[in-house]
Amino acid sequence: MVNQKSRIVLALGGNALQANPKDTRAEAQIVTAAQTAKPIVDLIEGGHELILAHGNGPQVGQIVGTYESAAAGNPSLPVMPFPECGAMSQGYIGYHLQQAVRQEMVNRGNHKSVATIVTQVVVDEKDEAFKNPTKPVGSFFTEEEAKVLEKEKGYTMKEDAGRGWRRVVASPIPVDVVEAPVVKTLVEAGHVVITVGGGGVPVVNRNGSLEGIPAVIDKDFASEKIAEILDADFLIILTAVEQVAINFNTPQQKNLDRITIEEAKKYIEEGHFAPGSMLPKVKAALKFVESKPGRRALITSLEKAKEGIEGKTGTIIVA
């Protein structure tokens, strides 16, 4: 159970922004954000300092795809660089969330301010992830088109599950959050802050200058990093399931209520968590709990967030 007046980083999964993954309209996201705001404001009303983080996979892919489609019809149009597309997604998702959270608070007589910080996240240029880009983004292309893009733009293109060829980018581990001091100042002043959206815009430090690079930082690891920097008490990762499970989707499935660091590491070694799904969530939660004595992490669904916060469900990871 979350202690009274804790500092909490809340990492929102894709279902917190898009109830139907196939419906990527801005109007649909506004509707979903209004529902997402309710459990968020429950926490705020509990007296907690809240920092919100979120993913941006479908949204940034849609932005990239729109520019690619436009350029395909008119080659004179420039394609927006990938870091700028990530910043765009942070802005418009943050806009929807801050509107929804603010309105829900106003409905309850609370007049805290909500602010979105377009956040840059530093990564190591020598991260092994850059040697093997795996994160697909943007539109589908034919093999012939993909080869032209590789030659002309230097993209890395890979075939995606028989559906066509797509650009892939690296997914490096976050090292630092550039705007963390700004976020901390706002939180300590009593404001609700939305940060590291989509994992943040990845940047590398080259001779003192920050340069955006085409990559996607996992939002769970970015959430963990900002939680560490801000000395949060609790990291809560919201996902599509109520609890973490071992032997998932088999007759031997076992849902986990409370696990220790040692148990979590054992389950990871045994391969219980899918690499593109639950594994990064468990690893991020584990990293946060290990970072300082007394820190805890919770993984649960958006629908069960309030009960998870009360210690009635979800999977809590403790030292």
Token pair for 113: 């301010």
Question: Quick one: tokens of 97?
Answer: 């969330």
Nearest CA-CA partner of 178 in 133, 209, 207: 209
**Contact residues for 43 (Cβ-Cβ < 8 A; gap 6+):** 2, 8, 10, 50, 309
- 283 catalytic per annotation: no
Q: Are 232 and 51 in contact (CB under 8 A)?
A: yes
Exposure of 136 by Cβ count < 10 A (0-12 exposed, 13-18 middle, 19+ buried)? buried
Instruction: Identify the active-site residue in 94, 197, 219, 308.
Output: 219
| Active-site entry in 225, 281, 283, 287 | 281
Q: Looking at 135, 225, 283, 287, which residue is catalytic?
A: 135
CA distance 228 to 235: 9
Residue type, 195: T
Q: Which two tokens stand for residue 221?
A: 């690891």
Instruction: Respond yes or no: is residue 112 known to be catalytic.
Output: no
Q: Of all helices (H) and strands (E), which one includes residue 200?
A: none
Query: Is 219 tagged catalytic?
Result: yes
135 belongs to the catalytic site:
yes
Q: Which of 13, 14, 57, 308 is catalytic?
A: 14
List the catalytic residues: 14-15, 135, 219, 281
